[in-house]
Each structure stands twice: as C-alpha cells, then as structure tokens.
C-alpha cells in the first residue's frame, strides 16, 4: 500500500457499530475479494472488499473476519484470519502481514492463519444460531461474477442447513453512510490529491492535446501523492463527447473552441473523491458556453444549500429539478409549453439533465448509505448537476463533494478546487510556457 497506516480506532468503532445491531447468538463473516484473472498468469491489481476493509483496515487478499459477540470464549468475539507468509512468498510478492501487524492495523487481538478458518469456524458455529452473510444489495450493483463471498455463502448453507441466515447489508448500509471524522478526513485528503491533479491539468490543456494525455497528467499527479490512482474510470470528454454520460474512451484530440468535461478524481486509502469540472480548451468560454456554465454552477450551489438533515434524497432531487427547470427556461432550452406538458414521471428538465443530483461517497464512489430515510449529519454526498446540449456540441457538469452538517449548509470538501469561470480562465491563460 502507498498510503500511511490508518488509525485502528476507526475500525474498532466501525466494528462496535455493527455488533450493536446483531441478533443474539449470531456471528457474522466477511471475506476478502478474489484475485481476478486476466488471462495466462496475469491478474488484475487486488482491491480489498470494502466492507472487510471498513471493519478491519486489512488491505490484503485471503483475509477473513468473524464477529461473534456472544462467543463463549472471549477471545473469539472478534477473530481475524490472514494469509500465512513464508520466505518464498516474501521473495516473489513481498512480505504479508504477520499476526502482530494484523493486530496493529485492525485492533483485533485474536489472529489466526487463513488455513485454520474451517476448524475455528466449525467450533464457533456450534455455539451460534444465526449467521450473517455479506450479500451485495447496493441499489446499483450489477455484478455477474461469482465472488469469494458468494461461494462461501453457498458452502455454509449446504454444510449448516439448521442455522438461520441473516443479512449484513442493512446494517452496513446504515452505518457506512454516516461517516466518522477519520473517514471525512480521508475523503478530504483524496479531494486534495484531486485538486493537485486538476491544477496540473489547467496548465496543460490547450488546443491539440489528446484526451488520453490529460488522463496521464492526472494519473502522474495522483500516484505522486500516494494514491493508487483513479477512484473510478476517468471521463475526459471534449466537445460533443461530454453528452455521453459514461464516455470513457478518452481518445479524441481537443479542438479550439470546445469545452472539456472531466469527471475524474483520486482515491486515497481506498476512500474515493469524485470531481467534475468543465473547462474551455482554448482558455476562454464563449458567451453561450459561459451562460450555460453559470447556470449549472447556480444549480450546484443551490442544490448544495438544500442538503440538510431531515430532507429525503428523492425529494432533494425533485427540488433541484425545479431549480434546473427555471435555468433551462432562462437559457431558451425549454419554453412554457414544455413545462405545461410535463408529467411527474417525465419532467421537462430531463431532456437536458437526465441523471441524479447526488449520491453517497466513501469507500465506494457510489457508496453505501440510506436513501429512503431522511438525510442525517455526517453523510457525505456528491452534488453534480449538468446540462447536456448535443445540438450545440457541448455539455457542462460540475461536481463537488460535501459533508452534511448538523446546522447550516454542508461543508464543501472541494471548496479550494477552482470552479468559478473567471478563475479557471485566469489559471489557464497564466500557464507556464
């Protein structure tokens, strides 16, 4: 790992929150992700299963966590299993966590080797009536690959048919959505790395550069600041490509007079930031580009102000829709007939702003978090309105990351990242030659 070791107190707090909601005589199991093959002997870089990381801080393959608050033996109320290392592994892959290091990272005193799991687990299951399975029920999940976790669930159901199954997801969805101060600090750090990348790019972009060259500039800055790289696949979209919401080819040459939409951000210690900025390739917005840009910025600012404790996520987007409708009328993109003819299911603004305004942010870019209950303080959201006009050859999206406060407007973790049109133009036109 490139990042500095995180405080074990964070993971101790996270486990305590989870255990507090478990049923009596129950245990919960969390498995690390697989190493996924590419072909031949190649694998994708390892990414830890985020729930396991959230509860332990362990960023290593073949790790397992068992939580059993009612275990007869107190040392088995939290058990961590990690891969046993040896000289051969150390030479070829580098050293793995030993037991003392695993305890130092996680705060878990009882650590066994992964190959001991089956025997220890069988003993613990003899005391338990219920087992919590860590199923992925995120509202955006569309995973087709059978995961290590899913294979484990099948095996346990086959071997322990008399036990009751329970779901970890509802607990994790609730507790992961409300961030601890340490988590907010990590997201803010990722935002700071993202800012460095954006400022670097402002001095680089000009007519004739390629979108993939811009992607490379970001990656250079991110890795130089202890990030693994991008928090998600970057979108570097010049001209009309900005109107493709998930454009990731990044293979076009930027032309004079175009706008460049960049939805790109860094991760740090597995925590994501999520930024979008739209800049003029030539260093100056046209009058029409500036009109649309300022409209999107006003919507973003007002949408941010509306993110207060007590409001429902869906209602927030409806209110933002009203603000966006007013801006689209002012821009001449909608007229009164469009608004009069709209329905609740098909609001007029959707023609130019077809995605959501906010999503939870944290260990996943689209993070866990309650969406059907009122928003609470210390939730971290993106705010990302956009206006997309294919017929005019450009689109504008602006996105910041904010923390909901007990009182007042949210705290903007990207406040220092340039977003005002004048500042962007000034920075681009004062670039070093």
Is 70 exceeded by the pLDDT of residue 272? Answer: yes
So what's the pLDDT on residue 37? 93
Radius of gyration of the chain (CA): 24
Which residues are registered as beta bridge partners of 63?
Answer: none
Do residues 403 and 185 make contact, with C-beta atoms less than 8 angstroms apart?
A: no
pLDDT tens-digit profile of 23-41? 999 999 999 999 999 999 9
Do residues 54 and 6 make contact, with C-beta atoms less than 8 angstroms apart?
A: no
Is 80 exceeded by the pLDDT of residue 432? Answer: no
pTM of the model: 0.97
Is 60 exceeded by the pLDDT of residue 89? Answer: yes
Is 60 exceeded by the pLDDT of residue 433? Answer: no
Mean of per-residue pLDDT scores for the chain:
96
Give kind and range of the element (H or E) at residue 153: helix 148-159
The stretch 398-414 carries a mean pLDDT of 97
Which residues are registered as beta bridge partners of 383?
Answer: 400
For residue 367 the two structure tokens come to: 């993070």
Is 70 exceeded by the pLDDT of residue 338? Answer: yes
The stretch 237-246 carries a mean pLDDT of 98
pLDDT tens-digit profile of 351-390? 999 999 999 999 999 999 999 999 999 999 999 999 999 9
The stretch 236-246 carries a mean pLDDT of 98
Which has more confidence, 69 or 432?
Answer: 69
Domain boundaries, the chain: 8-177, 181-429
How many angstroms separate the CA atoms of 212 and 251, rounded?
6
pLDDT tens-digit profile of 147-194? 999 999 999 999 999 999 999 999 999 999 999 999 999 999 999 999
The stretch 70-96 carries a mean pLDDT of 90
Confidence of residue 201 (pLDDT cuts 50, 70, 90): very high
The stretch 84-103 carries a mean pLDDT of 87
Is 80 exceeded by the pLDDT of residue 306? Answer: yes
So what's the pLDDT on residue 92? 84
Is 80 exceeded by the pLDDT of residue 431? Answer: no
The stretch 189-208 carries a mean pLDDT of 98
For residue 123 the two structure tokens come to: 């003993």
In CATH, what number does 181-429 get? Answer: 3.90.230.10
What single string gives the DSSP state of each residue in 24-70?
TTEEEEEEPPP--EEETTEEPPP---HHHHHHH----SS-EEEE-TT
In CATH, what number does 8-177 get? Answer: 3.40.350.10
């Amino acid at each position: 790992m490139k990042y500095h070791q995180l405080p074990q107190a964070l993971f101790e707090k996270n486990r305590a929150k989870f255990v507090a909601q478990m049923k009596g005589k129950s245990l919960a199991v969390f498995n690390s992700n697989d190493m996924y093959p590419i072909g031949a002997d190649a694998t994708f870089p390892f990414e830890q299963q985020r729930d396991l990381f959230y509860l332990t801080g362990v960023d290593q393959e073949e790790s397992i966590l068992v939580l059993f608050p009612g275990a007869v033996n107190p040392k088995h109320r939290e058990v961590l299993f990690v891969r046993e290392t040896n000289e051969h592994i150390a030479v070829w892959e580098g050293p793995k966590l030993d037991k003392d290091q695993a305890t130092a990272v996680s705060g878990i005193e009882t650590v066994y080797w992964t190959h001991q799991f089956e025997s220890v687990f069988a003993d613990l299951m003899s005391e338990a009536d219920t087992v919590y399975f860590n199923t992925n029920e995120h509202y955006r999940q569309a995973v087709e690959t059978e995961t290590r976790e899913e294979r484990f669930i099948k095996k346990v159901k086959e071997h322990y048919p008399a036990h009751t199954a329970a779901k970890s997801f509802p607990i994790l969805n609730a507790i992961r959505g409300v961030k601890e101060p340490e988590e907010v600090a990590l997201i803010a750090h990722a935002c700071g790395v993202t800012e460095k990348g954006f400022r670097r790019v402002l001095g680089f972009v000009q007519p004739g550069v390629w979108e993939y060259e811009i992607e490379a500039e970001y990656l250079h800055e991110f890795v130089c600041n202890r990030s693994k790289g991008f928090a998600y696949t970057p979108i570097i979209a010049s001209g009309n490509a900005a109107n493709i919401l998930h454009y990731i080819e990044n293979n076009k040459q930027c032309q004079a007079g175009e706008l460049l939409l960049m939805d790109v951000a860094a991760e740090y210690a597995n925590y994501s930031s999520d930024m979008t900025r739209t800049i003029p390739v030539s260093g100056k917005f046209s009058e029409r580009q500036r009109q649309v840009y300022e409209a999107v910025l006003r919507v973003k600012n007002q949408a941010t102000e509306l993110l207060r404790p007590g409001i429902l996520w869906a209602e927030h987007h409806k209110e933002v829709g009203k603000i966006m409708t007013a801006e689209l009328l002012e821009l001449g993109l909608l007229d009164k007939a469009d608004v009069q003819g709209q329905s609740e299911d098909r609001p007029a603004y959707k023609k130019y702003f077809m995605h959501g305004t906010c999503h939870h942010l944290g260990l996943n870019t689209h993070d866990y978090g309650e969406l059907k209950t009122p928003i609470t303080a210390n939730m971290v959201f993106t705010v990302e309105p956009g206006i997309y006009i294919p017929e005019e050859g450009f689109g504008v999206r602006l996105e910041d990351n904010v923390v909901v406060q007990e009182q007042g407007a949210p705290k903007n973790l990207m406040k220092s990242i340039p977003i005002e049109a004048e500042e962007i133009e000034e920075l681009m036109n004062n670039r070093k030659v």
